[in-house]
Amino acid sequence: MSKFSNSIVNQQFRKVYDFLISLKRIRGKSELAEYLDTYNHVINDILKGKRNVTVEQLNKLFSAFDINANYLFGLSEDLFLEGAEIPEVSLPYLREIKKSAKRNIRLIEDVRAFAGDSIDLTDTQAMQNLYRFSIPGLEGDLFAIEIEGDSMTPTITSTDLIVCELLEKDAPLRDNQVYVIMTDTVVAKRIQQIREDNQLVGLRLISDNDKVYKPYSIDLEEIRHILKVKCRVTGYGMG
């Protein structure tokens, strides 16, 4: 194996390439080469581990696609910069992404089944029964949740899947970003943190379809889980 294949940056570059393809942000190596001001054979050599990606090429990649530099250096699992729009994976059928050996994403098809006292994503035994799949470029232990309703239209539409990362209890949050909030119900909302004496005491939950759905607040003690939205999968069908 070429020494270039062992480079963490080259390994992560290949994952970024696969994910950009799945997002339909690029159509192939030639189009990526245009963005990076290089040639098709250069991109091909990088992907095959025959040469290193250059700093100049990385800077153009970061600029063109809002890629998180820390992801390329293996310092973060977030492929896109914080605050970038939610990436959209457009797939005609979910079965196109089911055929993967890794299968690091657990699929929650009916959030209503997780309502009430049954919501516990840390219950290892219960989670084993969920269907698992993967999407190129999405690493870590993730959940895919089917969205019902139009409260987050147009950012997230009914029947979309949103792929999320379960956050630790004290993980930092970012105002005006989209999260899945699990209380006795499951909702996807933008959040604003509510603080008293510099302590987080609750969240204000905001719908993008704000002409129909008004903001409301919940206490921190009501929240069982918070998940960070990584991307949405749209245009799928079960089969």
Residues 214 and 127 in one domain: yes
> Into how many domains does the chain fold?
2
Residues 121 and 201 in one domain: yes
Token pair belonging to 6: 């062992």
Question: φ, ψ for residue 198 (rounded to 5)?
Answer: 65, 15
Share of the chain above pLDDT 90, in %: 49
Q: What is the pLDDT of residues 116-152, one digit of tens each?
A: 555 678 877 777 888 888 887 788 899 998 888 899 9
Judge whether 79 lies within some domain.
no
Contact between residue 231 and residue 163 where contact means Cβ atoms under 8 Å apart: yes
Residues 22 and 66 in one domain: yes
Element (H, E) at 56: helix 55-65
Judge whether 80 lies within some domain.
no
Domain that holds residue 162: 88-234
**Among candidate residues 42, 19, 20, 22, the one with its CA nearest the CA of residue 30:** 42
Distance CA(63)–CA(190), nearest Å, equals: 25
Share of the chain above pLDDT 70, in %: 87
Strand, coil or helix: what is 147?
coil
Residue 64 has a pLDDT of: 92
**Among candidate residues 207, 169, 201, the one with its CA nearest the CA of residue 188:** 207
Token pair belonging to 92: 């005609």
Judge whether 98 lies within some domain.
yes
Is pTM beyond 0.85? Reply is: no
Cα dihedral sign for 188, 192, 193, 195?
A: negative
DSSP string, 172-220: ---TT-EEEEESSSEEEEEEEEEEETTEEEEEEEE-S-TTTS--EEEEG
**Which residue type, as a one-letter code, is found at position 117?**
D
Residues 48 and 111 in one domain: no
Q: What is the pLDDT of residues 158-214, one digit of tens each?
A: 888 899 999 998 899 999 999 999 998 889 999 999 999 999 999 999 999 999 999
Residue 237 has a pLDDT of: 45
Strands 105-108 and 142-146: parallel
Judge whether 180 lies within some domain.
yes
Residue 111 has a pLDDT of: 65
Judge whether 81 lies within some domain.
no
Residue 23 has a pLDDT of: 81
**Which has more pLDDT, 103 or 221?**
221
